[in-house]
A and B are shown apart, each in its own frame.
Chain A
Amino acid sequence: MKHCLSLAFVLMVLWLGNSGYYSPLLLSLGALSVVFAVWVSHRMDVIDHESQPLHLSGHILFFYCWLVGKIILSNIDVVKRIWLGNKSISPCVARLPLSQETDMGKVIYANSITLTPGTVSMDIEGTTVLVHALTAENIAELKDGEMNRRVADLEL
């Protein structure tokens, strides 16, 4: 039930934010389409804790703030290496352990790895993720496991 409500809320915000016309006729049409969309997704059985990860919403903002800082730092590093040329990079591949238990946690971790320039997750197999990095330092930093731990903490 709370997942349905959260989907309805998100759709309403999207509709209000994208329409810009607030006459009674258009508002009621919007409400009608929100109800219809929620009903159809309920019938399709796609409203669950995976499409509406409400249990994450408390801590995920802190995590994303931390991730934004990381993204800015690694962007500066990659841009520096672009202008320094090919001698400054040392591409490498490594298989890193995943300590997340749920699929959602694994996806958030792999997505965060890809979102920071300098590291790309190439494949997930069981409890390991294959990572390609621009430099050996990037891999060493991931091996320290701070990001891994932070994502695993989100699942609690």
Chain B
Amino acid sequence: MLANIVNLLSSACLLLGAFLIISGAVGVLRFPDFFTRMHAAGVTETLATTLILLGLMLLAGWSIISFKLLLILLFILITSPVASHALTKAALHGKLWPLVDGKNEQ
């Protein structure tokens, strides 16, 4: 009974994570410029990875594998904003200025 519930929860997490990854990919293709595409990629690297790893952790149960998955999650959550920041900063240095509509306060 409990195993069934855990399986169901983990499949829900994995499916939702997969949907978010597809959404992120669609966003990367759809959005107009580099900076807005970064936001779409941000969906895949935060909630989508968290849900996928959470689903795998539920499948693995209380074991050393879950601990390793948790470490992977922590490293991704710590390193991905640094990588995004480095990318946008490099784009600014390369004189790529974002498309802006509305207010632009410099």
Cα distance A72–B38 in the bound complex, in angstroms: 17
When chains A and B are docked, how far (Å) is the Cα of A110 from the Cα of B64? 33
Q: Are A91 and B36 in contact (CB under 8 A)?
A: yes
Q: Is B3 an interface residue (CB 8 A)?
A: no
Name the A residues within 8 Å of B20 (CB-CB).
Answer: 75, 79
A75: contacting residue among B36, B46, B82, CB under 8 A:
B46
Count how many chain B residues have C-beta atoms less than 8 Å from C-beta atoms of the other chain. 40
Report the minimal beta-carbon distance from A95 to chain B, rounded to whole angstroms. 6
> Which range holds the interface residue count of chain A?
35 or more
B39-A120 in contact (CB<8A): yes
Contact with B along A85-119 (1 / 0, CB 8 A): 11001111111000000000000001110111111
Interface hits, A25-74 → B, CB 8 Å:
71-72
Q: Are B27 and A82 in contact (CB under 8 A)?
A: yes
The verdict on A120 contacting B43 (CB below 8 Å), with A17-B71, A79-B20, A92-B101 known, is: no
A-binding residues in B (CB < 8 A): 20, 23-24, 26-27, 30-33, 35-36, 38-40, 42-43, 46-47, 64, 67-68, 71, 77, 80-82, 84-85, 88-89, 92, 98-106
